[in-house]
Amino acid sequence: MNIVMMLAPMSVFLALLGLGAFWWTLRSGQYDDPRGDASRILNDDPTDRPL
Amino acid sequence: MALTYDAPGVDLSGFLRPKADGGESLELLVKGAHCAACIAKIEGEAGRLPGVLNARMNLTTGKLAVGFEGGAGDPAAVIQAVARAGYDATPFDPAQAAEAQDREGKRLAMALAVAGFGAGNAMMFSVPIMAGLFGQELGPHTRTLMQWMSAIIAVPCALYAGMPFFESAWRSLRVGKANMDVPISIGVILTIVISFIETFLGGRDSYFDAAVSLLFLLLIGRWLDHQLRAKARGAAADLLALQAPVAATLTEDGRERHMPLSEVLVGDLLIVRPGERVPVDGVVEAGISALDNALLTGETAPVDIAPGAHCRAGAVNLSGVLHLRATARSDDSALAAIARLVEAGAQSKSRYVRLADKAAAIYVPTVHTLAAATFVGGWALGLGPREALLRAVVVLIITCPCALGLAVPAVQITASGRLFRKGVLVKSGAALERLSEVDHVIFDKTGVLTEGKPRLMDASPAVVAMAAPLARASAHPLARSLAAEAGPGPVATDVIETAGQGVEGFIDGRLARLGRAAFVGAEGAAARETELWFGFEGDAKVRLEFSDRLRPDAARTVAALRKRGLTVEILSGDAAGAVERAAREAGIDAWRAGLDPAGKAAAVEAAATEGRKVLMVGDGLNDAAALAKAHAAMAPGTALEASQNAADLIFSGEELGAVVDAVDVARAARGRALENFGFAALYNAVAGPAAVFGLVNPFVAALAMSGSSIVVTLNALRMSTAGGRR
């Protein structure tokens, strides 16, 4: 039983990390231009300074 | 109608938007960018300009965002830089760009993520509880512990993810109405409260995970619906930005300044070049030209104007450069009267009840009565209030409207995605529903059934070849059309163009004239607007007649519509002869000519009172009121702003067949949506009674809810491939 008391909060914490990461990607505009981002990776020059 | 911005000295600073840090930003619509190299070229050229802090090309929306240092912004330089890279750029009106920031979409996405997180993790604690239901070892204390854990995760998530529903329910209750979000909110809140009580009392069943899963599934539907509308809005704004982006004004020191239409004031002096559209109503100060009013009145014949004449916004300047004194702002140009008619029509449209709302009108009272009856009946039959209330809440949650909430948006987003690939833009889901019910199609003639451009009619190739060198030297649309017919070749020398009259010049050393009958010297000929005369000095004069040609697939489209059981009619503002000819060629028996805007709207209304569901296809300002009055409306991408706003669907491209595609897809979408409703009804017919008789536990609830939603979504996805091929 003790192991459950440890594992359960841990898994919730990990899921929260994932949620936080999604929040960050949403806030920093990473879904604004999916097509452009897919193409940018082919460019050698780092032209992806965010506005 | 592409304007040229590369003339040096043009001032476009009206398009700059001030930023918080003192700098300025500019948005440009860039056409033709589609690859990594395009991004590098465009951003490289724009970023090298002095004063530019950063430039970022968004491939998804096709917009280039440029940030300037304060006071250093020069939009014209950026447009020239993009042109050097090989792309056309058009400034985007800042008023429209501000709307493009999609806050609502981000909020829904975050709510969806939170609901997904909550549903998944609450389920993690529900699994041991469910296992306990099937005789696995689970003591009551462990079960209560699991329920509390489930509550700690699910409740905050449900409160956050449920906010869009709670807010909408509250807004609707405050005005004394109940929309679909009211039962959803009641169901979720009741479920959480009852589950708390059960957990507190050490009961067996709690439904925290069900409440969050319900929100998760409903949010998917909401988000899909929002994406559809946001995409359509953005695409519609782009179309309009390409069409009439700017007005060119002359400042007192004679400099030319381009500004967004909304900033033109009464009394401003405007320049309208040949081929451009008159931006606002005005009086001609200088210049002679002819105006094409086809989009305003449906007439194909150009109208001559001279200083002192009034011209209306939306007319196309055909031959000479005009200086106009603005007599109205863009908002209250001659468009305003039409806009009022459009508004009246739009109100009748908003009374349309959507399929989902019709279903909700049956669903909500049924389910709530059932839940209330379960509580009262259960208590009366000796269940005890706690058990009776629990069963009532289970009825509410398991007959959840997730299938309802997903059934229609999922179908509509796949349907409009399919139409989008065919070049048809759907403005809203309701538009598709209305289109599927249509049984009568009314076409405007000019620019819809026809190409809306003058084309040379049966002239001998020898004459065309003779006149072509002069035609190539002229900017007049009829001459352009003649030049296009003749193809590339020599150009006349020493050409002098007299605005509103014609051109004269030397072809192989002989003086020749091309233009109006009087200018060329043809005697005894009645001056007509859709013809040119040509002749060498002293020779006989030849007449070249032009006419507006039918779109190549017009007759085929009309036949295809007939085959689908629709009747077809033409309502036109043009003269009877031209309309009759077009009707005959397109194979349409019913036509009316010489109608004004109110006449067209009245005709559409008369058809509606006969009980017909009318699809209006029109492009001009004279169609706008009829478009708004019709049951469903389509406009080509070349239509005026007012008409595009009044239309439900916009088709780009040359083919009229888009109308048939749209009708097919709309009908298929309606079929899918009805199938989905049928399935949802069947599901509820089984799940409802099961809940009433206490056969449902949290495990069954979780399985049934997600199962029904998956079936509905899969059925909707069949839309993207099946049916509707011509």
Q: What global pTM score does this model have?
A: 0.73
What tokens appear for B401 in the block? 């409207």
What tokens appear for A21 in the block? 């990461």
pLDDT confidence tier of residue B52, bands split at 50, 70 and 90: confident
pLDDT of residue B1: 34
How many of the other CB atoms lie within 10 Å of CB of B141? 10
DSSP states of B138-180 as a string?
Answer: --HHHHHHHHHHHHHHHHHHHHHHTHHHHHHHHHHHHTT---T
pLDDT confidence tier of residue B49, bands split at 50, 70 and 90: confident
A43·B125 Cβ contact <8 A: no
Nearest CA in chain A to B153: A12
User: Of B290, B299, B305, B287, nearest to B532 (Cα)?
Assistant: B290
| Out of B36, B44, B117, closest to residue A39 by CB | B36
- Mean pLDDT, rounded, of chain B: 81
| Out of B40, B54, B125, closest to residue A45 by CB | B40
B39·A34 Cβ contact <8 A: no
Q: What 3-state class would DSSP assign to B311?
A: strand
pLDDT of residue B566: 92
Q: What is the pLDDT of residues B640-654, one digit of tens each?
A: 766 777 788 888 877
Q: What is the pLDDT of residues B587-601, one digit of tens each?
A: 898 999 888 878 888
Nearest CA in chain B to A46: B40
What tokens appear for B120 in the block? 């998944």
What tokens appear for B625 in the block? 């009121």
What tokens appear for B453 in the block? 């451009």
Q: What 3-state class would DSSP assign to B288?
A: coil
Tokens 């079936």 correspond to B711
User: Of B526, B531, B553, B527, nearest to B542 (Cα)?
Assistant: B531
End-to-end CA distance of chain A: 51
User: Of B164, B160, B220, B210, nearest to B187 (Cα)?
Assistant: B210
Q: What is the pLDDT of residues A24-36, one digit of tens each?
A: 998 888 888 888 8
- Least Cα separation, residue A12 to chain B (angstroms): 7
Q: What is the pLDDT of residues B451-483, one digit of tens each?
A: 877 778 777 788 888 888 888 877 777 787 888
Reply yes or no on whether B225 is catalytic.
no
Mean pLDDT of B382-394: 85
Asked whether residue B106 carries a pLDDT value surpassing 60, the answer given is yes
Asked whether residue B560 carries a pLDDT value surpassing 90, the answer given is yes
Report the residue of B26, B59, B208 to disrupt the A interface, i.e. the one with the largest count of A CBs within 10 Å: B59
pLDDT confidence tier of residue A17, bands split at 50, 70 and 90: very high
CA B46 to chain centre: 30
Report the residue of A30, A35, A37, A41 to disrupt the B interface, i.e. the one with the largest count of B CBs within 10 Å: A35
Asked whether residue B341 carries a pLDDT value surpassing 60, the answer given is no
pLDDT of residue B26: 84
Rounded to an integer, what distance in angstroms lies between the CA atom of residue B50 and that of residue B68?
9
Please tell me the least confidently modeled range out of B85-99, B621-635, B695-709. B85-99
Rounded to an integer, what distance in angstroms lies between the CA atom of residue B609 and that of residue B186?
40
Tokens 């459950």 correspond to A4
For residue B264, give Cα distances in angstroms to B2, B94, B330, B500.
Answer: 20, 14, 7, 27
A50·B56 Cβ contact <8 A: yes
* Residues of A in Cβ contact (< 8 Å) with B40: 43, 45, 47
Nearest CA in chain A to B26: A51
B57·A36 Cβ contact <8 A: yes
Rounded to an integer, what distance in angstroms lies between the CA atom of residue B280 and that of residue B335?
9
* % pLDDT > 90, chain B: 12
Rounded to an integer, what distance in angstroms lies between the CA atom of residue B191 and that of residue B150?
13
ipTM of the complex: 0.83
Q: Which of B238, B444, B648, B661 is catalytic?
A: B444
User: Of B607, B565, B631, nearest to B433 (Cα)?
Assistant: B631
Rounded to an integer, what distance in angstroms lies between the CA atom of residue B223 and that of residue B519?
63
